[in-house]
Amino acid sequence: MAAPSASPMPPLRLLPSTCRSGAWQMATDAWLLEQAAPSFRLYSWQRPTLSLGFHQGKVEAHWSELASAGVIDLVRRPSGGRAVLHAGEITYGLVWPGAPLGRKRAYGLACRWLLEAFAQLGHPLKPGSQASAMQPSNCFASGTAADLVDADGAKRIGSAQLWRRGCLLQHGSILVEPADGLWQQVFNAPPPRLARLPLGGSALQSLLIRSALTWLPTAGSGWTEGALSGAELAAIGARLGPYTEGLPIGRAGASPEASPEASIDRTTWGRARPSG
């Protein structure tokens, strides 16, 4: 008797791009991982935010001072890795049920859409190889095989993962125009020196989404557009606490929104559909 075939993967859920607080963004990705259904989204942050990896125990004293002064917000990611400054960048969240268990292979397959997109932009990238960093708390101070760097070795994209029961959440930060002054305040060093991209704003986001819908392994079964419902937003809003717990809250909007309606949603679907 033949063994039963594996259940086909459901279509990839493409969520609209959003601009929200760090707690909302992290709680959303964690909630999507709990659903164990393929999903993908690009997003930005309401305020400059420093996200810390789940296992990153040390919070630099001057980070707390900057947060208390309202210069940055602090949030903890559910994924691993080191600190990422979310300003002048685009963040993505990918949920991939049944991803291959080898981390290096999973990173390679999950990042192909980025390699293809940046090749189209005329700025080809490759996996990094640097194993250590002079700034051990700064994600962008080194480029490992999990990251993507340009021809000169400058890191353009940093990635981090969280696995739950064979389902992968992959976070990535795509540097577009990193803020030099703020980067210096946070990391006491300048950002990676990267060439200016020929596209920005909604045009860049549209290209990235088209590439994701073409090259992501999770898009093989098709994709659907799916904004979060009121019930889903309520479920996410009930679990914001863990992502700011134990971190200083700044004066200028560091606390999460009182309601989902306080956030700003921006859809990029209109121009993001792949051709052909």
Give me the count of residues in the chain: 276
**DSSP bridge partners of 164:** 167
> What are the angstrom distances between the C-alpha of 185 and each of 71, 182, 213?
9, 5, 37
Q: Beta strand 148-149 with 155-164: parallel, antiparallel or unpaired?
A: antiparallel
CB atoms within 10 A of CB 18: 22
Map 163-190 to HEC letters: EECCEEEEEEEEECCCCHHHHHHHHCCC
How many alpha carbons lie under 13 Å from residue 255 in its C-beta half-sphere? 3
Residue of 33, 45, 39, 36 whose CA lies nearest to 16: 39
Q: Is 167 tagged catalytic?
A: no
Asked if 182 and 84 touch (Cβ cutoff 8 Å), the reply is no
Kindly give the residue spans of alpha helices, DSSP state H, lying in 55-170.
61-68, 103-110, 112-120
Q: Annotated catalytic residue: which of 19, 111, 139, 167? A: 139
Q: Beta strand 89-97 with 84-86: parallel, antiparallel or unpaired?
A: unpaired
Residue of 274, 269, 250 whose CA lies nearest to 21: 250
Residues assigned a catalytic role: 139
